[in-house]
Every structure is written in C-alpha cells, then in structure tokens.
Structure 1
Amino acid sequence: MVPDDMPPRLRSLVERALAAQAESPTPPLPDPEPAPGETREDWERRVARVRAQHDALALETAARYGFLGDRDDPVGSIGYVDIPVEGGTIAARVYRPIDPGDRPPAIVVLHGGGWWMGGGAQGYRLGDGTCRMLCHGLGAVVLNVDYRLAPEFRFPVQLHDARDVVAWLRRGAGPQVDPDRVAVAGTSSGGHLAAALTLLLKDEGEQQLAMQVLVAPAVDLAEDPAGLEDPQALRGIETLRRYYAGDAPNRAIPYLSPLRAPDLSGLPPAVVVTGDFDPLTAPALDYVERLREAGVRVDHVSAPVTHTIGAQEDWRAAEEQILAACRELL
C-alpha cells in the first residue's frame, strides 16, 4: 500500500517500482544455511548466484529511480588496497581528494545491502557516487570497504572487519591521513555496523571516531519495524537478520541492536539521515533521542523518501544538508 500522505513525485516513483516488481519479481532469498543434503560448497555457490542477481537488480533500480549519492563529483584519484583483518584480508576502494593537504581526514564507508549483498565490483559501483560526494565535499580520503558478507560470514565478522580497518588506518599502514579525524559512514545495514562500531571502540577502550554518519540505519534487530505489516517483507527482514545474527539467542545485545545499549555516552557526534516513508525511521529517531539524552551531538536530516527510493531533488537537498553537518564535525 502506498501511504495517502506520500508526495506526488515520490508516489509516482513508488508506483512505478511496485509495477516493475509485480512484472519481474525479485529472486527469492537463499536459505540462511545449507538445505538438508546440500554441501556447504554447493550452498555457497547458490548464495553467490542469487546475490549476483540481487546486486544486478539493485544497480538497475538505482539507475531507474535514483538514490542518495547518485552523483559524479570529481576526485583526485581512485585506487584499491588490501587490508589485513582478523582471519583474513579484505579489499577497499580508496578515493583521494584533488587537494588532500598534509593529513586529510578519512571516512570509512560501510555499504548497505542487508549484510549479504552490495560487495565486490557491484558494490563499488553502487557506492561510487556517495564516496565521491564525501571525498570532494569534505576533502577526505574515503575508503569503500568490501567487508566479508553474510551468511557465509556472520556476526561479529563484519563488525570486526570495520574495527580492523580503522586500526589499520590509524597506525599509518595505508593512506596517510589524520588519525584523529577518522570517521565512519554507513547506509542501512552499513549504518547498523557503523553504530555498532562506535560502541565496540568504546568498550575496547580505543580512541573514538571523529564522526558517525548513519543513513537509514537499522538500529534494532530485536523487533520487527513498527507499522510494517506485509508478511512477505517481514519474512525477508527476518531472513536477513538470520543471515547476519544466525541463531543468536539474544538479538537485543548492543552490537546487534545499538538502540538497546544501556549507555550511549562518549560516542562520537552523529549525522543521522532518515526517510519519511522508511519503516526503519521510527527506531532511528528513538536512537537520535537517546544519543542526545546521553550528551552526544546529533544532526538529524530527514527527507521525503522511502528506504531506497526518492525524487532526485529531494536526494540533492538531503546531500547538501549532510555535507554541511559533516563539515562542522570533521
């Protein structure tokens, strides 16, 4: 159902997307674990095959309807690095500004995709505009991190990957940046990881990040989004949570549900971006309130968009607000 109060230009986009979905349904999500009698190798191949289909659909949707960061800002250079992490090595695409100065700030970008998609070459393409925007608009070195994906890798692997990237940057092993101005930015599941990362660094007694940018973040894995009643959508959300959290007996722990952390004091200033028609917005707004109550500065940017769809002029307005807030913090 399309809400009655949805603006006409957004309604038109959403109705087009719903019609396209009805005509060509999204491939079903693969099972969170191998089926009875299926080897892990066969299951991983099946996951990879369906993931590629979903990534291709995400690229098509982005091209058709636009998205946050759908822009082509100039940057100085783009390269790739391999980063050692606990249990392996991951890659990142690195954006350097045209005039980086002596020690520029750095932003670790954690992509969205329900913890299970949005990685690799397709993820770099999806995140290119956002990374360019942050690099050009803030004069920052930006790393689009290809963290390990669920369900092959589960919590806390992705969170530890993010932590290890920050540590790698700060010890000067990669691009030369200001270790005191390392920030994190994430969208949706990436926003979840970004929020959890700040809690992890606090608990481990590490230097806190300079800033956290949370775009449509998933901050509560313990409960279904309020107001979302579509059974198919709810089943899909539960599958994604199982991909990442597995059969964790308590999804209310802070690293899975940052909203439920007992103490949010000492976290870095935040820029939180929400959509007026996104089911993840209600818990995100609760998180904004709790951060503020804990003494954390929060700049809140809202836009008349869904979780993934919005009119270009509304995305552009939100982007300018995001950059303005980030410039004050970084």
Structure 2
Amino acid sequence: DNRPNITMAQDDKPVADKGKAPAEKQTTEVPGAKEPHEQTTKDGKKPVDLPADELNEEDQKLKDELDMLVERLLESDKSLYKPALEAIKTSIKTATSSMTAVPKPLKFLRPHYEKLEQTYESWPAGDDKNSLADTLSVLGMTYADEDRTDTLKYRLLAPSGDLGSWGHEYMRHLALEIGSDYQKRLNEERDADELVTLCLALVPFFLKHNAEADAVDILSELEMIEAIADHVDENTYARVCLYMVSMVPLLTYPDNDRFLHTAHDIYRKHNQLPHALTLAIRLNDFDLIKSDFYSTKDKNMRRQLAFVLARQKIPLELDDDEKEADPELQECL
C-alpha cells in the first residue's frame, strides 16, 4: 500500500529545505539589497546606466558651462557678451553637425530660452544683439512642436551672414517656417519681400549640399520656381530637372506648366535638346517644338530630334535648302 508514502509527500518537506525562504524572496527581503540590474558587476564597477534625471560627468560639465555662459549674458558687464555668445554658438554648431537626436546644447539651453528672449528685448541695437538673435533663431527649433516660428522670427531680426554654418537641419527647418509664414502673409495680404530674399539665400546652400529637392520645394512654396534656373550649374541641373518633372503629375494648372517650362528652359540652357524637346511636346507648344528643333545645326542631333518627333507623329516640313543639305533628315521625320 503506497498511501503512507503519498501522505508523507504531501505533508512533509525534505529536511534540507526546512527553515529556508523561497529563492525569490531571499534576495528581496534582505535590507539594502539591490535589484539584479542595480548590483555591481564582478569587477566591482558600477553599471553604465544612470537614472533618467541624472547626467554623466561629461554632460553635467557641458550643462554647467552653458548655464554659466547664460548667466554672463544676464549680467550688466557688456564685455562678457561677445565671448559668451561665441562660446554658446561653438557648442551648438559642434553638436548640430549630425542631428540624429536633439543636440545636448539645445536641450540644456531650452530652460533659459525665455530669459534670453527677455534679454534680447532689453539690449540696445548692435552687434551683440544681432548675435543673440542669431543664437535664438537656432534655439527656436526646440519649439517647433508648439506651432511657433521663432527660428524665422529671429533670423529676420539678425543679418543673414553665413546661414549654412548652422548645418543642414537648421536650414531645412528654416525653409519649412518660411513656407508656412508665406502662406499666412498671403492670406492676410501682407508684404513678403523679406521672405523671398531669405529664401534665395537658402537655395545655393541646398544645391551645394545635394539637397535639390529642398531647393525646388521652397521655391515652389513661394511661387517662384522660375528662379531655380539662375542657381543651377552643370553639376546640379540634371537632378533638379528630374525632380521637377517627377512632380508635375502631382501639380495642378498652371503650376504644372510652370514646372515644365522651367525644366525645359534649363535643358535648353545646358544644350540637352532631346530632353527639352520631350518637354515641349508635353506642353503641346508647336512653336517651342520648332524652336528646339532648329536650335542646332549638328546633323546627328537634328536626326535624333527628328526621330523623337516622328515617334510622336508630329509633322514638321523642311524647306528645300534643308532637304538638299541633309536628304536623310526628311526620312527621319
């Protein structure tokens, strides 16, 4: 009969286990004991992770330095302003070279933003005030989620200077605020000349840094896409035109025609006649088609253009002199 053994198994515990607490309780009930992830490693070093509200030594040093520089700007000694502003700018520019996250200087300076705004209002006009506006324009990016356009506001209050030194992310943010403010001014029938001037200062930077789409977008926002033709060169025109033509199906009249005309003119300027002729055909402008066709005297190029026209079944009659000069051209047509 196995009943006694069963009863023993249910009621009794092994002698070795008597008086012991469960394993999980043993670690949590010891006074001062740390959670497993809080305990030191075997070599006695502290864990790398810090509480959310605690900074490591390097970040704390940066924060203290920026706090000290801000305090200098709040003092009455004007001789401290310029070196303090230059130090703040250097710190921001170094951190914003790659904005994969919110740069730490912007994060640490944000609590001082309102004080710096008040300081700006209290300072007399001059280089220091312009330099502070330059800095506030960059700090204004931290308020982008609050429907504010401080980046643009303080940029307009400070001479443009070298905008590109603040980095690509700043330039893109500024372009977005320009486009937004331009629409507001149009709706309120206010002058927007200063926005146009600032926009034209951004375009060369975008083109130089392989951001042709940003250049086209900001000019499109300000309804001045034709201006892109004055800024492209042999290194950028192809990508600019490719992007512009790809946007055409998304646009309505007359913007779609403006984009095609502008891209056509750029192709003509850079002697890309087959591309220009293709856009002239899309525009259904026969005068423009003839102009493209007769703009070259090169026989091979003429024949290539003739094949394009023939493929689209566009008739083009040559005069007798042209037929005699190149008998095969009429056959291509």
What's the TM-score, normalizing by structure 1? 0.27
- Which structure has greater helix proportion? 2
Which protein is bigger by CA-based radius of gyration? 2
- Which structure has greater strand proportion? 1
What's the TM-score, normalizing by structure 2? 0.27
Higher relative contact order (CA 8 A, sep 6+): 1
